[in-house]
């Protein structure tokens, strides 16, 4: 069956990964100490940053409004700084153009914000058919909700789509819906990381995806 859509992650997939996740976490934790006891923060040590923010917001339960907005504002600031002078990978636009020439719909799902993506990819909406960021839903990868949102907007079934990313969270989201999954080594994860996650394909970078779309799988 031919591939009808390719859904990409952003950081580490279409553009170099420059975020300092330790710094992001430490700043959010520092802010959270103004709202909750340390044990609440410690309980989130194994969670990703966005999930940690939402869990702490739930713990506050309207008792001290403003934490979530402050936390996301700080993330936006730090992420925008990390993106300063950063560009898409040199091959990203060529891959997107090739896919579109073959009538394949293109989407992006990311845990980043729309503001941060537009800093790097200002003509985003002229080239990409659907974009789902953390601004659009609380339920981000590895939860499959972002991918479901993108595919529903494109009117493409998961079995006709490929999700491509540089982290096992991308693979988890795709596997949950039955999409074809491809891990790329252009971020910080290894081939063994993707093998353990159950990726259908592992490529050096997104150019490998053209091999899937050319033969239908």
Pairwise CA distance, residues 206 & 83, whole Å? 20
User: Rounded to two decimals, what is the model's pTM?
Assistant: 0.90
CB 105 within 8 A of CB 4: yes
Please report the pLDDT score of residue 215 as a whole number.
63
Tokens 């300092």 correspond to: 20
pLDDT values of the chain reduced to their tens digit, one per residue, 217 residues: 689 999 999 999 999 988 888 899 999 999 999 888 899 899 998 899 999 999 898 888 655 568 888 999 999 999 988 888 899 999 999 999 999 999 999 999 999 999 999 999 999 999 999 999 999 999 999 999 999 999 999 999 999 999 999 999 999 999 999 999 999 999 999 999 999 999 999 999 999 999 998 765 5
- DSSP summary character for residue 182: E
CB 161 within 8 A of CB 6: yes
Please report the pLDDT score of residue 21 as a whole number.
86
Tokens, residue 44: 């989130």
Pairwise CA distance, residues 71 & 32, whole Å? 8
Residue 146 CA to chain centroid, in angstroms? Answer: 9
Closest CA to 4 of 180, 198, 206, 126: 180
CB 207 within 8 A of CB 95: yes
What's the pLDDT tens digit per position in 103-139?
999 999 999 999 999 999 999 999 999 999 999 999 9
> Average pLDDT, whole number, for the chain?
93
Closest CA to 52 of 80, 24, 90: 24
CB 88 within 8 A of CB 15: yes
H helical segments located in the chain? 21-32, 38-42, 49-60, 67-82, 92-101, 114-120, 124-127, 145-154, 168-177, 191-197, 209-215
Please report the pLDDT score of residue 123 as a whole number.
95
Domains annotated on the chain, with CATH: 5-17+87-215 (3.40.50.1000), 21-82 (no CATH)
- DSSP summary character for residue 160: G
């Amino acid at each position: 069956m031919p591939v009808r859509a390719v859904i990409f992650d952003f950081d580490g997939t279409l553009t170099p990964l420059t975020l300092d996740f330790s710094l992001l976490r430490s700043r959010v934790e520092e802010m959270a100490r103004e709202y909750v006891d340390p044990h609440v923060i410690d309980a989130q040590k194994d969670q990703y940053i966005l999930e940690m923010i939402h869990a702490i917001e739930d713990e506050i339960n309207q008792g001290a409004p403003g934490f979530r907005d402050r936390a996301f504002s700080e993330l936006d600031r730090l992420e925008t700084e990390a993106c300063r002078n950063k560009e898409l990978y040199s091959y990203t636009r060529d891959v997107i153009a090739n896919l579109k020439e073959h009538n394949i719909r293109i989407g992006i799902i990311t845990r980043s914000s729309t503001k941060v993506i537009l800093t790097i990819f200002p003509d985003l909406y002229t080239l990409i058919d659907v974009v789902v960021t953390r601004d659009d839903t609380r339920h981000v990868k590895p939860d499959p909700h972002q991918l479901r949102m993108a595919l529903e907007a494109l009117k493409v079934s998961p079995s006709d789509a490929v999700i491509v990313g540089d982290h096992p969270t991308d693979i988890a989201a795709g596997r949950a819906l039955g999409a074809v999954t491809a891990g790329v080594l252009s971020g910080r994860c290894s081939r063994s990381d993707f093998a353990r996650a159950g990726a259908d394909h592992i490529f050096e970078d997104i150019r490998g995806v053209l091999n899937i779309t050319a033969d239908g799988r």
